[in-house]
Amino acid sequence: MRTTIELAQEIGYAKLSIEAVAARAGVGKHTIYRRWSSKGALFLDSVLSLNVSLDYPDTGDILADLREQTYTAVDLLGRPPLGPLFQALVGEAQRNSKVAAALNERFITPQAEKSVARLKKARDEGQLSPEFDLDLAMSILSGPLYFQFLITQEPLTHEYVDRVFEALFAGMRPRHHE
């Protein structure tokens, strides 16, 4: 897996092959195929072996906690080495339904569940509107970041995160009726 990451960084995912990984690692390609059914499966395990954990702080201030967690994500995903690797992995997931399912199961869903759990706690504490749909909030939080990261490929910055949060929190804050 380390060899896969090294080669992907050197030559890019598109040029990566099981044969090249086997040659660099000094093993037969059949050794690799016994464990991984495809280049995509090997790449998924390799990228996820980097153990990127995006846990939430809990300072009691949901906006500060979301901002801190998202800054960490942006700092990891917005630049090498992880950024280009994750972009390639998401690209492979578009072509390979097994890679997509595994990426969702092993990374996307657990991260979304952490986000929703932190939002639920904040809602229960009165920091968020009681009627706000937390799953939708998760999509609204992550959508602009993935759009910028994957589609426009503009730099992910803390300033952009702040703009997204300001727009979202305008609708999520509890309304004080007078």
* Per-residue pLDDT tens over the stretch 114-140: 999 999 999 999 998 888 889 988 898
Q: Does the bond joining 81 to the residue before it have cis omega, within 30 degrees of 0?
A: yes
* Domain ranges within the chain, ordered by starting residue: 2-47, 52-172
pLDDT tens sequence across 37-59: 999 999 999 999 987 778 888 99
| d(C-alpha 98, C-alpha 102), whole Å | 6
Q: How many CB atoms lie within 10 A of CB 118?
A: 20
CA-based nearest residue to 116, from 139, 100, 147: 139
Query: 2-47: which CATH architecture?
Result: Orthogonal Bundle (1.10)
Q: How many CB atoms lie within 10 A of CB 3?
A: 18
| d(C-alpha 161, C-alpha 76), whole Å | 14
State yes or no: pLDDT of 178 exceeds 60: no
Answer whether CATH 3.40.830.10 is correct for domain 52-172. no
| d(C-alpha 141, C-alpha 119), whole Å | 11
Give residue 175's pLDDT band: very low, low, confident or very high (50, 70, 90): low
